[in-house]
Amino acid sequence: MSKAQTEQYDPDDPATWKTLSKVKKGEEISPHSYIELIRHELIQRPVTTNAALLKKIEQVFGNKFGPDDLRRIKSGKRSSRPKWMNNVDWAKAVLTKKGEIAVRSRIRKGKRETWIVLREFAEAVVLEAKLCRGQESAWTEVCGWVLCGKRRKGMRKKCPTCKAWTTLSAKNCDACGHIFKRPNQRVHKLPRNKRGVRNG
Ligand SMILES: [Zn+2]
């Protein structure tokens, strides 16, 4: 695979989002790009929802998505969603595994809400509430609840030939040997290196 193309922008400056080039056919925005944007967002808002995060991602990349980012893929039995949302899930799975974030969903008034917290921040909030009773912040309940959630299993994919499940990184199916399609070329669109923002 050739070296991935890398562009930079400032997540807080919409003028710089416009300078990003549109993703070409056969390419897609890399999960790494989403990892860095999620990190940036969580430093500013350490307790947030998946809906807010998706909204920010669409604001930044929305009109830059290429046909392969927008290609609709099956999600559950009846619905479908664009491929880029899968890459965002992958980014969240990586950050969860690294212990940087915690994610948990619940149904409220018939709607699913997914909370995402910066683990370090959430742990501090919960500890503070324990140490100083009556000092609970607005986030205490959400942080405690998210941290108590079970860790989700790693992301998996289904073999189109025999329907067996394998890890997302598998190159061929363990059960039947099916060779998975080569993934699209990834392009990186990354936040510019700024004070307090990790890059890479
Ligand atoms: Zn198979």
Summary mean pLDDT of the chain = 89
Distance between Cα 142 and ligand 1 center (Å): 41
Sorted by where each begins, the domain ranges of the chain are 6-191
Instruction: Assess contact for 157 and 168: CB atoms under 8 A.
Output: yes
Residue 76 has pLDDT above 70, yes or no: yes
Distance between Cα 180 and ligand 1 center (Å): 9
The confidence score (pLDDT) of residue 77 equals: 79
- Answering whether pTM is above 0.85, one says no
Distance between Cα 157 and ligand 1 center (Å): 11
The confidence score (pLDDT) of residue 194 equals: 60
The confidence score (pLDDT) of residue 135 equals: 67
Distance between Cα 73 and ligand 1 center (Å): 19
Residue 9 CB contacts under 8 Å (≥ 6 apart), including other chains: 16, 17, 19, 20, 60, 189, 190, 191, 192
Average pLDDT over residues 14-34: 95
Return the amino acid letter for 152: R
> Tens digits of per-residue pLDDT, 122-158?
999 999 888 887 767 788 999 999 999 876 666 778 8
Distance between Cα 175 and ligand 1 center (Å): 5
Distance between Cα 89 and ligand 1 center (Å): 23
DSSP H helices, 45-118, are: 50-61, 67-70, 83-97
Residue 21 has pLDDT above 50, yes or no: yes
Residues of the chain above pLDDT 90, percent: 64
The confidence score (pLDDT) of residue 72 equals: 94
Strand spans (E) along the chain: 6-9, 27-29, 47-49, 72-75, 79-82, 101-108, 111-118, 156-158, 165-167, 185-191
Distance between Cα 83 and ligand 1 center (Å): 22
Average pLDDT over residues 148-177: 83
pLDDT, greater one: 72 or 137: 72
Distance between Cα 181 and ligand 1 center (Å): 13
Residue 183 has pLDDT above 60, yes or no: yes
Specify the CATH number of the domain 6-191.
1.10.10.10
